[in-house]
């Protein structure tokens, strides 16, 4: 087995595809890069990555951050309701933000803005409730 160590790969032509063996692995163009996924499909690296996520413990009223990415702050805005404010804003408020909570509870995102989103957690009777595990992930375009 051989090891290649380098800082830059420069092609001999203007090709924008990196090929390993006979398989095109990565294609690049201005502000876009795709990688070969399952089968022959290619996936946009920029579109396929989570732009933000949070894992909170809100049981007891004050949100305790277990871990986050691209979240500058968390605000408690009422029982079962938190506002996650982005470190880097989204380009529009049409991003996807699936969320969940621990067993026998539901979670939903009820307010979308380029700078934040609001997550609500409720119990089986529909009442808002503070829970130990509130999680959410954001997919969309950063500003």
Interatomic CA distance for residues 110 and 117, integer angstroms = 8
What pLDDT sits at residue 13? 67
Q: Are residues 2 and 27 in the same domain?
A: yes
Q: Are residues 65 and 109 in the same domain?
A: yes
**Which domain range does residue 44 map to?**
1-48
pLDDT in tens, the chain (143 residues): 788 887 776 666 666 777 777 766 677 766 677 777 777 777 777 777 899 999 999 887 678 899 999 999 999 999 999 999 999 999 999 999 999 998 888 999 999 999 999 999 999 898 999 888 999 999 999 98
- Per DSSP, 132 falls in state S
Interatomic CA distance for residues 66 and 122, integer angstroms = 20
Q: Are residues 89 and 109 in the same domain?
A: yes
Q: Are residues 83 and 101 in the same domain?
A: yes
Query: Is residue 143 in a domain?
Result: no
Pairing of the two strands 99-101 and 81-86: unpaired
Q: Are residues 93 and 105 in the same domain?
A: yes
How many structural domains does the chain have?
Answer: 2
């Amino acid at each position: 087995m051989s090891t290649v160590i380098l800082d830059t790969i420069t092609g001999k032509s203007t090709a924008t595809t990196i090929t390993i063996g006979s398989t095109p692995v990565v294609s690049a163009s201005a502000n876009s890069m795709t990688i070969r996924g399952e089968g022959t499909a290619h996936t946009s690296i920029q579109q396929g990555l989570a732009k933000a996520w949070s894992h909170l413990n809100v049981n007891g009223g004050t949100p305790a951050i277990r871990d986050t990415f691209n979240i500058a702050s968390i605000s408690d805005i009422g029982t079962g309701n938190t506002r996650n404010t982005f470190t880097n804003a989204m380009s529009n408020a049409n991003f996807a933000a699936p969320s969940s909570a621990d067993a026998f509870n539901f979670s939903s995102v009820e307010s979308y803005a380029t700078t934040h989103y609001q997550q609500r957690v409720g119990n089986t009777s529909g009442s808002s409730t503070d829970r130990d595990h509130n999680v959410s992930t954001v997919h969309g375009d950063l500003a």
